[in-house]
Amino acid sequence: DIQMTQSPSTLSASVGDRVTITCRASQSISSWLAWYQQKPGKAPKLLIYKASTLESGVPSKFSGSGYGTEFTLTISSLQPDDFVTYYCQQYNTNPWTFGQGTKVEIK
Amino acid sequence: EVQLVESGGGLVQPGRSLRLSCAASGFNLDDYGMHWVRQAPGNGLEWVSSIFWNGNSVDYADSVRGRFTISRDNAKKFLFLQMNSLRAEDTALYYCVKETLYKRGLFDSWGQGTLVIVSS
């Protein structure tokens, strides 16, 4: 199975900050990497797929990059609604696997 | 609008069975692969099982293979997960998830989940 490792597990930031979350795969997954946002008590929501393609309706303050085994999610100008948990997921190989999540909290 | 509504969760004793259902609307269910993904309380996401659009191919996580069975009824627009020999570690919120047309394993719509608690 492909292991997905996110860092950091918790990120403390302030409103207006620009933050970056890293996701590493245990083997190459090409660009088959997605990012999801999960708000408390809600289902995950797809933000980015194919490493850098924004899902329809997702604001452009979210951006993704990477290829192979290392990927990043960047959120520019954090707003109160963005202080939630983010997951990466590889869909290169079954079983489809997720990172452990990164919680973005208010500093 | 895509809607996925899960039901069937509850409190069940270890070793017993439970059947989850997912009612799909707002899209042509028979065009899409479907999945179950679970989330243990306070934990991350774990893919559980998937089924091709026509039901001809299914996959399972190692943790549930041999105990869980995924199925679908495209005519009635339902997805199911039969869970047997339940264990405490199966306790989780179970999400019904739709995958995209263009790449297997990419999840673009999620239900709100149904909670399964396995405890004596």
Asked whether the beta carbons of A1 and A95 are under 8 A apart, the reply is yes
In order along its 107 residues, chain A shows pLDDT tens digits of 999 999 999 999 999 999 999 999 999 999 999 999 999 999 999 999 999 999 999 999 999 999 999 999 999 999 999 999 999 999 999 999 999 999 999 99
Tokens, residue A21: 């979350």
Q: Give yes or no for a contact between B71 and B61, defined as CB atoms under 8 angstroms apart.
A: no
CB contact under 8 A, A87 and B44: yes
Flag whether pLDDT at B96 surpasses 90: yes
Q: Please tell me which of the candidates A34, A91, A101 has its beta carbon nearest to residue B104.
A: A91
Subunit contact B44:A101, Cβ cutoff 8 A: yes
Q: What span, in angstroms and rounded, lies between the C-alpha atoms of B22 and B78?
A: 5
Q: What percent of chain B has pLDDT over 70?
A: 100
Stretch B34-43: mean pLDDT: 96
Both tokens assigned to B90: 């199966």
User: CA angle at residue A39 from A36 to A41, to 5 degrees?
Assistant: 125
Enter the DSSP assignment of A92. Answer: S
Sign of CA dihedral B39, A48, B96, B104: negative
pLDDT at B102 over 90: no
- The verdict on A45 touching B (C-beta cutoff 8 Å) is yes
The pLDDT value recorded for residue B116 is 98
Q: CA A49 to CA A56: how far, in whole Å?
A: 11
Confidence of residue B80 (pLDDT cuts 50, 70, 90): very high
